[in-house]
């Protein structure tokens, strides 16, 4: 197993820190000038090579990779090639900005729905702006809207541990770079916790903050999922939630048990793995399930982050903050 640049930096920093702790007591007991001069470089080199050997062990490597420090090093290394161009574009008129990766860009990229005709209903992309994807981190408008809100409430969020269902790449990047404490949860994909949103098994009132973006349209019973979220939420906690919303539907949610094939679901709900689509009364629906619901309205945010509806016509630019009464 090769040591990446990020792991080398980690070993060097760790060795320097331990050396700084150990050198003062060693200098008090060593009097020979030659030995005193050799203590710092010798100790640092020994610690560096020792940590490098340990980090090559697969299990240790995985633990370190999942540590906050290593994750930040990994993200910074991926972003480094874009920083020079970002600094130039920051001064240019008409540039766009992605708060998830903190990069200024010329333009957002298009969503490649035509490449997946078996997955996405093309009719849902005809009357919206599909040029909404960050070319650096892949964020969509809903990610940038959420990150903008979290940035404004950063001091509060850093004091809680977030439970994040189906965490998206762009949000993971932002949370790692901003030292947010979180646990990921998913029933199928790799995550810290393997949880079913309809029955998590977590203690009641144990989670201070939950993020659940575009998951409710996938679960078998969204009502059961909302009840479970309410059960595990701490008394003063918050849920940030979003889901596909079709503003043309004058209802809370549209379901159709007869749409059982992937093609039928794609035609009915816009995507072949969606089991429902929510309507213009979504906020009232959430309140009917016992929550106090507050909107995070992307249309009020700065235009350079492109907080619009899109890429599909059901990709709403409104997220909801839910609390217990």
How does pLDDT run across 121-177, given as a tens digit for each residue?
999 999 999 999 999 999 999 999 999 999 999 999 999 999 999 999 999 999 999
Tokens found for residue 212: 């659940």
Tell me what pLDDT residue 55 has: 60
Q: Which CATH superfamily is domain 103-323 in?
A: Vaccinia Virus protein VP39 (3.40.50.150)
Tell me the C-alpha distance between 189 and 197, whole Å. 13
Buried b (16+ CB within 10 A) or exposed e, 31-57: eeeeeeeeebeebbeebbeebbeebee
Q: pLDDT band at 1, cuts 50/70/90?
A: very low
Q: What percent of the chain has pLDDT over 70?
A: 93
Q: pLDDT tens-digit profile of 201-232?
A: 999 999 999 999 999 999 999 999 999 999 99
Beta strand 103-105 pairing with 96-98: antiparallel
Enter the tokens of residue 177: 């770079």
Average pLDDT, the chain: 90
45 sits in the region (left: phi over 0; alpha: psi -120 to 50; else beta) called alpha
Tokens at residue 155, please? 């001091």
Q: Which pair of tokens denotes residue 253?
A: 């949610």
Q: Where exactly are the structural domains of the chain?
A: 5-66, 103-323
Specify the pTM: 0.81
Question: 26-85 pLDDT, tens per residue?
Answer: 878 777 787 778 888 888 888 777 776 766 655 544 555 556 677 787 888 899 999 999
CB proximity list for 61: less than 8 A, separation 6 or greater: 1, 7, 55
pLDDT-based confidence at residue 2 (cuts at 50, 70, 90): low
């Amino acid at each position: 197993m090769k040591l990446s640049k990020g792991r080398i930096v980690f070993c060097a920093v760790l060795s320097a820190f331990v050396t700084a702790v150990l050198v003062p007591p060693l200098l008090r007991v060593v009097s020979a000038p030659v030995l005193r001069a050799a203590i710092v470089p010798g100790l640092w080199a020994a610690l560096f090579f020792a940590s490098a050997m340990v980090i090559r062990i697969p299990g240790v490597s995985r633990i370190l990779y999942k540590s906050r420090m290593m994750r930040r090093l990994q993200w910074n290394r991926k972003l480094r090639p874009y920083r020079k161009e970002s600094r130039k574009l920051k001064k240019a008129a008409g540039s766009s900005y992605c708060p998830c990766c903190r990069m200024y860009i010329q333009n957002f990229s298009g969503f490649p729905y035509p490449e997946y005709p078996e997955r996405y209903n093309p009719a849902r992309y005809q009357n919206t702006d599909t040029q909404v994807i960050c070319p650096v981190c892949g964020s969509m408008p809903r990610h940038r809207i959420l990150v903008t809100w979290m940035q404004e409430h950063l001091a509060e969020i850093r004091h809680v541990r977030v439970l994040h269902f189906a965490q998206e790449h762009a949000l993971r990047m932002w949370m790692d770079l901003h030292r947010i404490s979180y646990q990921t949860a998913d029933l199928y994909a790799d995550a810290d916790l393997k949880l079913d949103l309809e029955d998590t098994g977590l203690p009641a009132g144990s989670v201070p903050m939950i993020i659940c973006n575009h998951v409710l349209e996938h679960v078998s019973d969204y009502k059961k999922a909302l009840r479970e979220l309410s059960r595990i939420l701490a008394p003063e906690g918050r849920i940030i939630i979003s889901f596909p919303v079709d503003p043309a539907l004058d209802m809370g949610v549209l379901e159709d048990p007869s749409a059982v094939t992937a093609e039928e679901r794609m035609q009915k709900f816009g995507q072949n793995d969606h089991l429902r689509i929510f309507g213009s009364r979504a906020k009232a629906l959430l309140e009917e399930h016992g929550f106090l619901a507050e909107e995070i309205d992307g249309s009020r945010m700065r235009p350079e982050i492109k907080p619009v509806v899109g890429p599909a016509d059901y990709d709403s630019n409104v997220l909801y903050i839910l609390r217990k009464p």
